Amino acid sequence: MIFALIFILSSDSPPWWDYPGFELWKWINLALFVALMIYVLMKADIRGAFRARGETIKAELEKARNERDAALAKLKEVEERLAGMSDQVASINQRSKTEAEAEQKRIAQATKEEIAKLTAQAKGDIENAAKVAKNELRNFAAEQSIRMAEDLIKRDMRPEDDARLMMQNVEEMGAAR
């Protein structure tokens, strides 16, 4: 190191303040600039500005913490409500299953009753139709019997039988009075 210092101070090299890469004027220029900046910043009360800015940042951080805590509380409340809702959904599903089963049984019972009612009604309709058919058959048989009797009477009746029957009817009517 001493050797390097002797080398620098030797007469054939430039003076130490003008050594390449270490020009003294650059350092003096830098020192003046830094001193001027410190003076300007002190004059502008930069400490107060930094202090105020620090207080503002602290207040904003506190506000952000409070908002975060409120958001976490709200999230916890929502999660609790969601947990409660899953229980509600389960109970609603169970209730709807029970109601569906009851409705299915009620519909099955109503269907059975309707089938029984329709069966009874159909039996009644069949019986009525049978009665009507029997009456129509009796009427038809009676009409046919009367027609056949008339045909027989017309065919077998002679004029003397006709006169005799007329007389008999007249006598019966007279006796009835």
Residue range 115-172, pLDDT digits in tens? 999 999 989 989 998 899 899 999 998 899 888 888 887 777 777 877 887 888 888 8
Residue 91 has pLDDT above 70, yes or no: yes
C-alpha distances out from residue 25 to 4, 7, 19, 32, 83, Å: 22, 21, 11, 10, 75
Q: Is the pTM of this model over 0.85?
A: no
SS3 state of residue 13 = coil
Mean pLDDT of 98-106: 92
How many residues make up the chain in this entry?
Answer: 177
Q: Could you tell me which residues come within 8 angstroms of residue 130 by beta carbon, excluding any fewer than 6 positions away?
A: none
Residue 58 has pLDDT above 80, yes or no: yes
Q: Which segment of 28-32, 69-73, 155-159, 168-172 scores lowest on mean pLDDT?
A: 155-159
pLDDT over 70, % of the chain: 85
Domain ranges (residues) in the chain:
45-176
Q: What pLDDT does residue 48 have?
A: 75
Q: What pLDDT does residue 67 have?
A: 93
Q: Max CA-CA distance within the chain?
A: 195
Total H helices, total E strands in the chain: 4, 2
Q: Which segment of 36-45, 54-63, 89-98 scores lowest on mean pLDDT?
A: 36-45
